[in-house]
Amino acid sequence: MSETLLEVQGVTLAALLEAKERRANRQHEWLLKHSQPVLSLTLVTPGPLKDSIRYRNCMAVALQACDQLLWRYRWPVLERRVLWLPTGAEAMWSVAHSASELKAATVELEQTHPLGRLWDADVICPQNGPVGRTSLDLSGRRCLVCNEPAHACARSRRHPMDEVTARVERLIDGWFSRD
C-alpha cells in the first residue's frame, strides 16, 4: 500500500469493533494454548485514521521497547506476533511470567518512554483475566491534551478531535526529530 493511501484511508466503527473482537479471540486462543499471560499492544490513535507511516514508525519503536523490556528481565517469550492492519497495528506476546509484574513493567514503560503515552499495553492473566492499573494501585491514564483522567475526557468528547490528533502527531514528530 502506498504512503499516500495510508495517509488518507479512515476506518469505520464497524471495522474497529470487528478488529477488537478478532484480537480478543486471538488473546483467548493464546491463553488456552500457553496457559501464560498475554501482553497485547496497540496504539492510541484518535480519529478514523488508524494506519499511517507515522503510526507504523511509532509501533516499531513500541515493539522494540517491549522486546527489550522482556529481554532485560529475561522473561521467557513463548510466542510473539505482529499484525499490520488497516485498523491499526497489533502485537501480542505470550510471556511465562507473573501477569501482575508484567503489567507493572509495561505501565512503567508507558509512563517513562517519550512515546509511551501512545502505547496501550494490555496484560491478560489466564486465571484472572485482564490486569488493570487499579489492581496494582496505580492511577488511570491521563488525557493527552489536559492531563485530566483520559476516560472522562474521551467519554465527554471534551476536546476537538483535531486537537487530540495534533497532540499525538506532535509527540511522534518530537521523538523522530530528536538529535
pLDDT digits (tens, 9 = 90+) for 168-179: 999 999 999 975
Amino acid 153: pLDDT: 83
In DSSP notation, 59-95 reads HHHHHHHHHHHHHHHTPPEEEEEEE--TT--EEEEEE
Separation of alpha carbons 54 and 9, rounded Å: 14
Give me the residue spans of the domains in the chain: 13-136
Res 95 pLDDT > 90: yes
Contact status, residue 70 vs residue 121, Cβ threshold 8 Å: no
Give the pLDDT band of residue 2 (cuts 50, 70, 90).
very low
Indicate the pTM of the whole model: 0.88
Average pLDDT (47-57) is 92
> How much of the chain exceeds pLDDT 90, in percent?
70
Separation of alpha carbons 170 and 164, rounded Å: 10
Res 28 pLDDT > 70: yes
The architecture CATH gives domain 13-136:
2-Layer Sandwich (3.30)
**Ranges assigned E (strand) in the chain:** 38-43, 77-83, 90-95, 119-125, 129-131
Amino acid 179: pLDDT: 54
Average pLDDT (112-125) is 95
Average pLDDT (103-132) is 95
Average pLDDT (31-50) is 95
pLDDT digits (tens, 9 = 90+) for 104-117: 999 999 999 999 99
Res 1 pLDDT > 50: no
Mean pLDDT estimate for the chain: 90
Place of cell 499492544: 41
Its sign, for the CA torsion 84, 109, 39, 74, is positive
Res 139 pLDDT > 80: no
